Amino acid sequence: MAHIIRFTNRCTEQKEQNRITCGCCGREIPAYPSRNARDYLEITKKWGYFSKKDGETHHFYLCEDCYDKWLENFAGPVEISEDTELL
Ligand SMILES: [Zn+2]
Q: What is the pLDDT of residues 3-12, one digit of tens each?
A: 555 666 777 7
CA of 67 to the centre of ligand 1 (A): 7
Q: Report the amino acid identity of residue 37.
A: A
Q: Which residues contact 25 (CB under 8 A, 6 or more apart)?
A: 63, 65, 66
- Its pTM stands at 0.78
- Partner residues linked to 20 by β-bridges: 29
> Which amino acid is present at 60?
F
Q: How many CA atoms lie within 13 A of 72 on its CB side?
A: 6
Under a CB-based contact definition with an 8 Å cutoff, are residues 7 and 56 in contact?
A: no
Whole-number Å distance, alpha carbon 22 to ligand 1 midpoint, is 5
The string of pLDDT tens digits covering residues 43-84 is 999 999 999 999 999 999 999 999 999 999 999 999 999 988
**2 pLDDT exceeds 80?**
no
Domain boundaries, the chain: 2-72
Q: How far is the CA of 49 from the centre of ligand 1 (A)?
A: 30
Cα of 40 from ligand 1 centre, angstroms: 9
Rounded Cα distance between 33 and 37, Å, is 7
pLDDT value for 38: 95
